[in-house]
Structure 1
């Protein structure tokens, strides 16, 4: 079977689940995983016969896709902010919009803390914590680009933390991982943080109808969904945590539900946070918010 014929087979078997463009993207991920081919390699070698051993692997990936399994779980990893991360059904698959949150935090660190400025003796004074870390993608990406910063990461799930620890090793960074429930945290957080960042659960139950079936069937619901009645439950808890544990003028960063920007801003304002900023993602959706800890009375 040639690559062209295999691409046609993917289209034929997956057209009930995905549109043509999505199927082609999945096919390109599959051949990169198995053959090491980039898009250009595929274009140049379309008529090449696929070796039998590779064909078996590519057919197994296709079988998993026909069952609605995300390709990232099938191959066991994904790329986030240029770094490789192991993923499995105990953690969410990192999304591109979360990369934008990381980029925002890094840009603020670069300017506010003068990271990389030779006049600063110790950029390691930057102390960050990621709440609801999952695969560890936010914390690890931040630590990779801020190697002298202190980075901690919290999650309620021991299995998620096990994956996050593997990812820290995979990317050769040191992150302190803490198993704790931010809604009822038991850990004593002795140090104060310059930055708190979080991408907590924010999808309302009634919004499930708008989501792709492979997400609903495979990714951990505890990391995705909140009740319709209390959609900001985690944001309120993390904001309260921030009031206690941010340094003076410390910053809080959230990824948010694009339909709850106004409500999130109002909640933060009610709690006294200042300099509240809403940022759009690459699709023009209200996806990120930052706020500064209110001054001491």
Structure 2
């Protein structure tokens, strides 16, 4: 079998979960991971034959993909805001819209030298680590209730050579003593009644605890974090959220009722309401 035939096999057998373009991209990602080939190198090498002893490792990846397992979990690696991150089934796979949130924060703080920030519900640590890498002089803390997630986040901080203060706590019951110039969170925000709209590979493989909230009280984490921020933000401190695209109006109203100023709702590149910022 040559690599073109293997690519066609990925497309044909991955059809249940992926369209042709997605399956082809997963094939090239597999070659990058296993051989270190760029897409250009792979495209120009499709006629090369695969050693019989090497074929099983490609077929093993294909079988995992056919089960709906995300490729980031298969190789336990992804990239976020230009930095490498380890991921596994204990943490969410970072999304592009979260990169947009990080970029918004960096642009907002441009020119500010030093400060302190807290990332609540850090998961893989992608927000905390990316901000620590990108902001000068900031002390960064990151909080999560999951021990498994914190282990991954600590690994990612070390891999990216940054120092982050990690806190194991449930924000619904946490009352620390520190104060911060900025608090950011991408908390669970998908309502249980939205599950039928979601891709099966997300439902089957990513941690539900980090994704879902009850349909009756979808802003539970936002309310708790807002109350925490009212106590723990320094004067002129900033609060940033990633939000449910369907709950932008409700999130803004909640923050305004709690007394936050300059509440700003921001759309992502797809035009969906996905971010909010406000200040004390």
TM-score, scaled to structure 1: 0.92
After superposition, residues 137-286 of structure 1 pair within 5 angstroms as: 137-186=126-175, 188-190=176-178, 192-286=179-273
Runs of 4 or more consecutive aligned structure 1 residues displaced over 3 Å after TM superposition? 51-54
2:38 and 2:271 map into 1 onto residues whose CA distance is: 29
Q: Decide whether aligned partners of structure 1 residues 39 and 132 sit closer, same or farther in structure 2, where only a CA change above 3 A counts.
A: same
2:242 and 2:268 map into 1 onto residues whose CA distance is: 10
Match of 1:77 in 2: 77
Match of 1:13 in 2: 13
2:276 and 2:53 map into 1 onto residues whose CA distance is: 48
Cα distance, 1:52 vs. partner?
4.1
1:289 and 1:131 map into 2 onto residues whose CA distance is: 15
Cα distance, 1:156 vs. partner?
0.3
2:118 and 2:261 map into 1 onto residues whose CA distance is: 20
Report Cα offsets for 1:177-218 as digits up to 9, x if no partner: 0000000115x232x211100000000001000101111011
1:247 and 1:51 map into 2 onto residues whose CA distance is: 61
2:154 and 2:207 map into 1 onto residues whose CA distance is: 18
After superposition, residues 114-125 of structure 1 pair within 5 angstroms as: 114-115=111-112, 123-124=113-114
Q: How many residues align?
A: 280
After superposition, residues 4-153 of structure 1 pair within 5 angstroms as: 4-110=4-110, 114-115=111-112, 123-124=113-114, 126-153=115-142
Contact 1:34-1:54 at 8 Å conserved across structures: no
Which shifted more, 13-22 or 263-272? 13-22
- What secondary structure is seen at the aligned counterpart in 1 of 2:84? strand
Cα distance, 1:54 vs. partner?
4.2
1:179 and 1:231 map into 2 onto residues whose CA distance is: 23
2:271 and 2:50 map into 1 onto residues whose CA distance is: 41
Cα distance, 1:23 vs. partner?
1.0
1:251 and 1:28 map into 2 onto residues whose CA distance is: 41
- What secondary structure is seen at the aligned counterpart in 1 of 2:274? strand
2:52 and 2:127 map into 1 onto residues whose CA distance is: 39
- Mark the runs of 5 or more structure 2 residues left unpaired by the alignment: none
- Mark the runs of 5 or more structure 1 residues left unpaired by the alignment: 116-122
Q: Decide whether aligned partners of structure 1 residues 252 and 12 sit closer, same or farther in structure 2, where only a CA change above 3 A counts.
A: same
Contact 1:140-1:168 at 8 Å conserved across structures: yes
1:54 and 1:38 map into 2 onto residues whose CA distance is: 19
- What secondary structure is seen at the aligned counterpart in 2 of 1:183? coil
Cα distance, 1:3 vs. partner?
1.5
Cα distance, 1:66 vs. partner?
1.0
CA RMSD of aligned residues (A): 1.1
